[in-house]
Amino acid sequence: MADVIKIFDTTLRDGEQAPGYSMNIDEKVRMARQLELLGVDVIEAGFAAASPGDFTSVEAVAREITDTSVCSLSRALESDIDASAQALKPAVHPRIHTFIATSDIHMQYKLKMDPDTVLDQAVRMVRYARNFCPVVEFSAEDASRTRPEFLYRILEQVIDAGARCVNIPDTVGYSTPDEFYRLVSDIRGNVPNIDKAVVSVHCHNDLGLAVANTLAAIRAGAGQVECTVNGIGERAGNAAVEELVMVLRTRKDVYGKETNINTREIHRSSRLLSHVTGVQVQPNKAIVGANAFAHEAGIHQHGVMSHASTYEIMTPESIGLQESRMVLGKHSGKHAFTQRMESLGYSVDRQTINEVFEQFKRLADKKKVVEDKDLEALMESRAALVPETFTLDRFVINSGNTISATASLRVDREDEHFEDVATGDGPVDAAFMAIERIVGESFELEEYVIHAVTGGKDAQGEVSVKIEKDGKIYKGRGVSTDVVEASILAYLSAVNRYFYEERNV
């Protein structure tokens, strides 16, 4: 049994066939270059006979890729094989892949051919393809639902006809790992010339078992596996290359196999595919999902920071990521928070950390993810702090396009509550009027600037105001996910600065 499992990548053929994943020629060539960097052994570049665009893509990839084998799919028809042979002419290491369905259900209802005719056609077409290409792969479509005796017969004869690789597809993703293990073992035990060909498998993911079935086949002696980046492919997709490769690497103790994949290119390959197709992978996708190396829970963050292997069975670097992502959110603990503050360049004492951590927790309750810019905004608003003579307790705003805005505010000064209501030209103006009534001073608003600290609907708004009294300017800043609250906080901080500088309170 081979110690190195060959990776046959069909992202550009089976993957591209799936709805929403079509790629133009340039995109396919870009992706093929990346697959070569990833280190796959075979790139199935397309189905040359399917369309003029497919033909040109196969040809373009064949011209571009020099180290990796380039393959084109063909039905077991002379015209398809001619198209593949023609498109593969520039390839340094060409492979023609020809297939015909072998299950009763496909032969009867789709091909409308009897088994002997199917067998004869498969053998003739493998022989025909060999005229153009030294490496011919044969696939028995729907092999997992094919009568085993017929499968053994057809595989034996196509190998005699010159197939160097025989592929066993679980075309409809129907098999289970135990069953698929037995199928591959039985093929190896019942096809007399099987040693003259590489046994390959091609598993679809209709029941979510594509990777498990492929791994079972590896244990049963398969030497090549067919897979796609991000697991894309017909219907529920194919076995995901990144999952297979990382299982083999992480659990070498179980499988004892290697691949030629440079795992550090995995992340880049996944991202490029998402970029060219516009289809993002789900966040919890194994290996390449955004959360695959992200930790938010405080206990997990603490564990990973103390010793990564507490919660990580692979390093992020092994798939080409820089580092694990510590997501700061409401589940995060002080360890991760403190470390992020330090990495942002803040060296703060324990008391400040405790205070900012409290502010952070309040913010995290409102906002799903607290970003670095949010933390910087929190720290900047602290830097500008003067004693808080007046603090906001609560506010209610009533506003609309057919009424005057009304603001009702309650502000604390030491242990006393002060409450007032005012109307104004809009909610912010009304709130500022209410503050002036409460503090018993009036100011000119010189400047009011608002901007979003981060992106998204739950972004924090940052408001800066400058208010003027007796020729002097007092600045204030406020940050909140609610822009009216940010405005009130900014106005109050400017008022507090006035009281601090002019009234010494």
| Contact residues for ligand KIV, defined by CB under 6 A | 14, 99, 139, 141, 167, 169, 171, 202, 204
Span near Zn ion by CB under 5 A; candidates 9-17, 98-106, 353-361, 403-411: 9-17
Contacted entry of Zn ion, ligand KIV, none for residue 461, CB cut-off 5 to 8 Å set by kind: none
Q: Residue 301: name its binding partner from Zn ion, ligand KIV, none (Cβ under 5 to 8 Å by kind).
A: none
Residues 6 or more apart whose Cβ sits within 8 Å of residue 347: none
Nearest approach in angstroms of CB 192 to ligand KIV is: 24
Partner whose binding site includes residue 173, from ligand KIV, Zn ion, none (CB under 5 to 8 Å by kind): none
Minimum Å gap between C-beta 171 and ligand KIV is: 4
Q: By CB under 5 A, how many residues form the interface with Zn ion?
A: 1
Our CB check for Zn ion shows the closer of 103 and 460 to be 103
Query: Which of Zn ion, ligand KIV, none is residue 496 near (CB under 5 to 8 Å by kind)?
Result: none
Structure tokens given for 476? 């204030």
Is the Cβ of residue 167 or residue 464 nearer to ligand KIV in the bound state? 167
3-class state of residue 343 by DSSP: helix
Alpha-carbon span 308 to 467, nearest angstrom: 51
CB of 261 to ligand KIV, least distance (A): 21
Minimal distance, residue 307 CB to ligand KIV, in Å: 43
Contact of residue 464 among ligand KIV, Zn ion, none (CB under 5-8 Å per partner type) = none
Distance CA 171, CA 156 (A): 20
Please identify, among the stretches 10-18, 240-248, 272-280, 399-407, the one whose residues bind Zn ion according to the rule CB under 5 A. Answer: 10-18
Q: Which positions ≥6 away from 266 have C-beta within 8 Å?
A: 38, 241, 242, 245, 246, 287, 288, 319, 320
Tell me which residue has its CB nearest to Zn ion. Answer: 14
Residue 141 interface partner, choices Zn ion, ligand KIV, none, CB cut-off 5-8 Å depending on type: ligand KIV
CB nearer ligand KIV, residue 227 or residue 375: 227
**9 is a contact residue toward Zn ion (CB under 5 A):** no
- As measured in angstroms, the least distance from the Cβ of 141 to Zn ion is 8
Shortest distance, position 188 Cβ to ligand KIV, whole Å? 19
In the DSSP assignment, the letter for residue 76 is S
Gap between the Cα atoms of 86 and 80, Å rounded:
10
Nearer to Zn ion, 47 or 337 (CB): 47
Alpha carbons 299 and 301: distance in angstroms, whole number: 6
**Per CB under 5 A, does 14 bind Zn ion?**
yes
Compute the least distance from the CB of residue 100 to ligand KIV, in Å: 9
Minimum separation from the CB atom of position 130 to ligand KIV (A): 19
Taking the least distance from each CB to ligand KIV, the nearer of 227 and 272 is 227
CA distance 8 to 238: 12
Taking Cα atoms as reference points, which of 272, 265, 280, 289 lies closest to residue 28? Answer: 272
- 3-state secondary structure at position 109: helix
DSSP E strands: which ranges in 92-192?
94-101, 136-141, 165-170
Stretch that binds Zn ion, among 13-21, 180-188, 371-379, 449-457 (CB under 5 A): 13-21
Q: Please tell me whether residue 225 adopts helix, strand or coil conformation.
A: strand
DSSP 351-399: HHHHHHHHHHHHHHHHSSS--HHHHHHHHHHHHT----SSEEEEEEEE-
DSSP structure string for 169-192: EETTS---HHHHHHHHHHHHHH-T
Least separation in angstroms between residue 204's CB and Zn ion is 6
Buried b (16+ CB within 10 A) or exposed e, 339-377: ebbeeeebeeeeeebeebbebbeebbeebebbbebbbeb
Give me the residues that bind Zn ion (CB under 5 A), please: 14
